[in-house]
Amino acid sequence: MKTFEYDILFFPVKKQKDYDEVRRALNERGAEGWEVITAKAGDYGYTTFLKRETGTMKAASE
């Protein structure tokens, strides 16, 4: 069975140019193997939830 690790990133977005920072950060994480599971918009920005495979395998019976 595959195993994963998870991370949460928050991006304050106040201006259109802030989206460039979000894109840059997510592209960096993507290059490290992270995948965005979901993103939630809030009053002050976006919270993104990410996962990536850890490379360790566990038996299905564990």
For residue 52, give both structure tokens. 């990536």
In a domain, 60, yes or no: no
Q: Give me the pLDDT at residue 23, please.
A: 93
In the chain (62 residues long), the average pLDDT of successive 10-residue segments reads 95 85 95 97 93 82 63
Concatenating the DSSP letter of every residue in 14-49 gives -STTHHHHHHHHHHHHHHTT-EEEEEEE-SSEEEEE
Q: Which domain holds residue 34?
A: 3-54
Residue with tokens 């919270």: 47
> Which among 52, 41, 51, 50 is positioned nearest to 18, based on CA atoms?
41
Is residue 38 in some structural domain?
yes
Whether residue 61 lies inside any domain: the answer is no
pLDDT at residue number 62: 61
Q: Is 59 within a domain?
A: no
**What's the structural domain count of the chain?**
1
